[in-house]
Structure 1
Amino acid sequence: MSNWKKVLRYSTVLLASSVLLAACGDGGDVPDPEDASVEGSEPEGSLPETEDDDGSTLMIGLTNAPDSFNPFYRPGVAGTWIQRFFYDSLLVMPTADSFEPGLATMETDDNQVFTLTVQEDAYWSDGEPITAHDVAFTLNTIADPNVETTLGTAVAMIEGTNASGVRLDEFDELPGVEVLDDKTLTVTTKNPVDLNYISEFLGFQVLVAPEHIFGEMDVADISNSEAATQPTVFSGAYTFVEYDNDNYVHLEANPDYHRGAPNIETVYARIMNGTALITEFQAGNLHMAAGGGIGTVPAQDVSLLEEIDGVQVDENPSFNGQYMIINNEKFSDPKIRQAFAYAFDLDVVIDNLLEGKGEVLGSMYSSASPYKDETVEPLEYNPDLARELLEEADFDFDTPLEFVVPTGNAVREQVGNLIEQWLIDIGVSVNHSNYDFPTWLAMAQDLDYDIGLMGYGHTVDPNVASYIQTGAPNNNMAIEDPVIDSLLEEGMAGTTFEDRFATYSDLQVHLQEEMPIVPLYSDSQFGVKVEGLNGGIKEYWAGSLYDLHEWTLDE
């Protein structure tokens, strides 16, 4: 039997990681999707009294508020990041190209039938054992057609689901999920799959939920349930205590965590804007920033952090990207959508706003991704061609475009101002509005906009179905393109890097031709922490919490 730890490494990841690519600012908005950006306020004096001079309390800076504590619904990267403190995944991902056991081990002989064995000593925080039934319940709930979830693409490879990861009508439960005993189950995919693909999406992206808490509910009621908004039962290194809205999240160590009790007893994840983040580090009130679009330092302010004694700043490449999303229902002509892309002089963003610490995107894949097709270059700035394309498409120059920019990310807000001016320069009238991210996300979901700015958090695996597949949970653009859908299905079915690279290369070419979403830029992520913290954000930030329980803080 070939153990899952037989690593199928993306050989080009290490090469790609050596490329200096991006820059600062509020980065990707989700691992899945968008960041819940908020306008920070003065954080001082807002926390309960704490004794943290003995290394027992860790203060983390977030510039994006968590948008969900529901393990089945995680639209934002900040919410996902916080949930990983108290909900475990089947596998952990210490680097961008390797996996280790988390709640379970995974083995396969044929890359189609996977045997999952839950750790014997894994318990929920209320003393109940974590079982194969919890895993099966979680997968079946994600695939339930009546549940509110953002994780459909994570289970779309399992037998019994459609291309969006929704259970087919003829089944009451997924035929591809079979519990063998209390600690063992098998997962069968529709076809053999890339081991890295299933490990990242099924093993790492899915957080296992307690069946004895959620199983008695109607799945349609889960999102608004107390268990989803004020969770009380956990499998991870920490337990959730309190969320003071847009202020802080309070967590306490789980002494019965199966991988070992955490060394740091208390964690406060404090929510503030980028300027306050700098100030709080200068005042000695923070130990680390979350990084990765969660606790982001604007590029122009990085030097201020580097000047603080005892603070370490590391620049890392990013898989994430910033985009202009388009209401494809309203703008169905690709000439109009391409015109928008030609109208933007994005080199100005890289050179001036990001101080050279970034790249203009030609597709949904940055230079950090081994699946980026280098031949798909960004469209050149050509305002004359942009206006010509709009005229050919009979674009209505008299009706203002409703353009929405979320607040909280200083660079992105400045980019919004530039885009407004670039559109005006080609004769387009613009009604520019700024909203906090939760409000903007609700507007996007209702297609209550024409164009807007959005950041997406990407994984090492190239599957971007959750954003652009027809009917996908984070497809807030009304994209319905059978070619995109076909290529996404083909990409998920590939079993080798070479096969999948060819498919995703075709996808990048097609996306540029149709331009249902305009790629803008990718910026570096900065890991910031005090020198006394043994742990914190690593080069691959999404996997930075895999050893959370081992972190120590020297005061």
Structure 2
Amino acid sequence: MGLQIWKRLGAAAGMSVLLGSISVPTLADEAVKRGGTLRYGTVSEVASLDPHVAGGSAWRALVGVLYSPLVTYDKNGDIVPALAANWEQPDPQTLVFHLREDARFQDGSPVTADDVRFSLERIVDPATGATLRANLQGARIETPDARTIRISKDSPDVTLLSVLALTEAAIVPKQWVQGGANLKVEANGAGPFRLASYEPSVRASLERNPSYYVEDQPYLEGVDFRMIKSDDARVNALRSQSLDMIDFVPWKDIASLSRNPAFEVDTAGGAFMSVWFNATRKPFDDPRVRQAVSYALDRDAVSKAAFFGHGTPITGAPTASDSQYFNPGFEGTYNRDLDKARALLAEAGYPDGLDMLLLVFQGLGIYTTTAQILQANLKEAGINLTLEPVEWATLVERKNRGDYDAMIYGVSVKLPDPDAYAYYLGADSSFWAKPIGYRDDQLEQLLAQGRAQTDPEQRKLIYRDVEQRVLETSPWVFINWREQAQGYARKVQGYQQLGGALSESSPAISLPTIWIK
């Protein structure tokens, strides 16, 4: 499937100097047509615009074009300049960034080193609940002058540059935030678009940012984000030309839309389905119970029924087979085995089975079908599974306050580096590991070793142990890879669906260069 999840080590590894400038196609090169508004339908609701607190794939698309980080990813998956015109790495512990002179926030104020320091310190502040807090903890941030930022750690961190290229590392204006701005419903970034209006969980209208630092971009005059959770309603809106583009083309509709000459459907791998447990609740605090669920699941049935052939079972760890970190020896760890599932439940003290409540996002058919198969599978192992359908915002809110037994969650690996395990399962991951109550000291030690190790071959050995520990403790049940599809009218030009760690970032990366015939 070409799922290049962790194939890239990250540009920070093995490089001493990194300099660059953004190279963009000109209008003549592309023969593009300026103007127009893209009507874009998203499946998940964007309930908050805070750029430091991740909120799902639609959030990433929307916030990713309102704000800019210091560096970013391009369509090739390479790290390129964004607010930083260039940067260097004088030693393995340090990165030095030099801001571009023409970078301005959408209110016209210049982007300064003080804004960068404030933004990164806001991420580290526990009160923010920032997604990248664990990744930036321990970083020293110095500003020798108004355009220079020096970020250093006590030990090497080969993941740091990759982390700083994520949407969640966006730079916000210090004075604007300290002046009382509500980042959940307001936006003032340095991205290609600026916020014209926003109705949380319903709609967001964007307009072209005339002061965007990339010359001639964006090509569009605006983007109208419409949040449509119904699969059928979203597809019908595209077919009826009420929308120009939709995310998460339902897997049942990929084939029919692909055959329709009026539309394009771009697919790529990189996302996977999983079951998350509340490890603070009995019996899910016992890894044997979590393992039992994993052994009971029929992953082939899920891939066929929920994904219509656009899914591949995960029986080991979620590292793609074409990654340099892939360990084939872990394949088959969790093939379906009802005898093992029952034995583990008995060993954990539940010989007669147990009851379990599963939160299910009701906006996507893949969640509902996966949940129904899981329910039937677990019944055979002695687990009585009750399904509770909820809206996306409700699912996230209940996850964050630990009000659940288990839930189905679909994610893509956010970091093109195996330290993505820390992004999700590191103990200080305030958006992921903390809400599910998971912490494993042995895993923490391994993750720290992996970040500090600069030798690629030694890193492979460390992350093999990371995967083994994750499979042993089973905080998540890994179900299957899924192809991600975007559908759009043929008049929409310039979109590219990326795979691997950048699958969810594809809309934000492409939107500045999308145009309408």
Q: Same fold (TM over 0.5)?
A: yes
Q: Which residue of 1 aligns with 2:122?
A: 141
One of 402, 407, 419 as aligned partner of 1:447:
402
Structure 2 counterpart of 1:201, which letter? V
Q: Which residue of 2 aligns with 1:199?
A: 161
One of 341, 366, 375 as aligned partner of 2:329:
375
Q: Which residue of 2 aligns with 1:165?
A: none
Judged with a 3 Å threshold, the aligned counterparts in structure 2 of structure 1 residues 228 and 397 are, in CA distance, closer, same or farther, namely farther
Q: CA deviation at 1:100?
A: 1.0
1: distance between equivalents of 2:173 and 2:67? Answer: 10
One of 375, 379, 382 as aligned partner of 1:427:
382
Q: Is contact 1:123–1:258 with CA below 8 Å preserved after alignment?
A: yes
Q: Which residue of 1 aligns with 2:439?
A: 480
Q: Is contact 1:406–1:434 with CA below 8 Å preserved after alignment?
A: yes
2: distance between equivalents of 1:382 and 1:323? Answer: 18
Q: Which residue of 2 aligns with 1:163?
A: none
Q: CA deviation at 1:431?
A: 2.4
Q: Which residue of 2 aligns with 1:498?
A: 457
Secondary structure of residue in 2 paired with 1:505:
helix
Structure 1 counterpart of 2:275, which letter? M
2: distance between equivalents of 1:85 and 1:499? Answer: 37
Q: CA deviation at 1:402?
A: 1.8
Q: CA deviation at 1:216?
A: 4.6
Structure 2 counterpart of 1:359, which letter? T
Structure 2 counterpart of 1:524, which letter? E
One of 200, 214, 225 as aligned partner of 1:269:
225
Tell me, which stretches of 5 or more residues in structure 1 are unaligned? 7-52, 160-175, 218-225, 290-294
1: distance between equivalents of 2:145 and 2:35? Answer: 42
2: distance between equivalents of 1:549 and 1:122? Answer: 16
Structure 1 counterpart of 2:134, which letter? T
2: distance between equivalents of 1:501 and 1:67? Answer: 38
Judged with a 3 Å threshold, the aligned counterparts in structure 2 of structure 1 residues 479 and 232 are, in CA distance, closer, same or farther, namely closer
Instruction: Say if 2:176 is the partner of 1:213.
Output: yes
Q: Is contact 2:423–2:429 with CA below 8 Å preserved after alignment?
A: yes
Q: Which residue of 2 aligns with 1:351?
A: 304
Matches within 5 A, 1:79-98: 79-95=59-75, 97-98=77-78
Q: Which residue of 1 aligns with 2:344?
A: 389
Matches within 5 A, 1:61-460: 61-95=41-75, 97-104=77-84, 105-156=86-137, 158-159=138-139, 176-194=140-158, 197-205=159-167, 206-216=169-179, 226-260=181-215, 261-272=217-228, 273-289=230-246, 295-318=247-270, 320-329=271-280, 330=282, 331-361=284-314, 362-367=316-321, 369-378=323-332, 379-395=334-350, 397=352, 400-458=355-413, 459-460=415-416
Task: Give the length in aligned residue pairs.
Answer: 475
Judged with a 3 Å threshold, the aligned counterparts in structure 2 of structure 1 residues 54 and 488 are, in CA distance, closer, same or farther, namely closer
2: distance between equivalents of 1:489 and 1:543? Answer: 29
Q: CA deviation at 1:268?
A: 0.6
Q: Which residue of 2 aligns with 1:512?
A: 471
2: distance between equivalents of 1:108 and 1:238? Answer: 31
Secondary structure of residue in 2 paired with 1:400:
strand
2: distance between equivalents of 1:449 and 1:286? Answer: 35
Q: Is contact 1:77–1:457 with CA below 8 Å preserved after alignment?
A: no
2: distance between equivalents of 1:190 and 1:288? Answer: 46
Instruction: Say if 2:452 is the partner of 1:532.
Output: no
| Cα root mean square deviation, aligned | 2.2
Secondary structure of residue in 2 paired with 1:286:
coil
2: distance between equivalents of 1:68 and 1:365? Answer: 30
**Percent identity among equivalent residues?**
25
2: distance between equivalents of 1:549 and 1:447? Answer: 38
Q: CA deviation at 1:250?
A: 0.7
Secondary structure of residue in 2 paired with 1:545:
helix
Tell me, which stretches of 5 or more residues in structure 2 are unaligned? 1-14, 21-32
Q: Which residue of 2 aligns with 1:3?
A: 17
Q: CA deviation at 1:110?
A: 1.9
Q: CA deviation at 1:375?
A: 1.7
Structure-1-length-normalised TM-score: 0.81
2: distance between equivalents of 1:546 and 1:399? Answer: 46
Secondary structure of residue in 1 paired with 2:273:
strand
1: distance between equivalents of 2:133 and 2:88? Answer: 23
Q: CA deviation at 1:506?
A: 0.9
Structure 1 counterpart of 2:237, which letter? E
Q: Is contact 2:34–2:219 with CA below 8 Å preserved after alignment?
A: no
One of 499, 503, 508 as aligned partner of 1:545:
508
Judged with a 3 Å threshold, the aligned counterparts in structure 2 of structure 1 residues 126 and 531 are, in CA distance, closer, same or farther, namely same
Judged with a 3 Å threshold, the aligned counterparts in structure 2 of structure 1 residues 529 and 497 are, in CA distance, closer, same or farther, namely farther
User: Could you report, residue by residue, the CA deviation over 1:342-392 in whole angstroms, capped at 9, with x for unpaired residues?
Assistant: 101111112333232222122233446543322211411111221121112
Q: CA deviation at 1:232?
A: 4.4
Q: CA deviation at 1:148?
A: 2.5
Q: Is contact 2:141–2:152 with CA below 8 Å preserved after alignment?
A: yes
Q: Is contact 2:95–2:150 with CA below 8 Å preserved after alignment?
A: yes
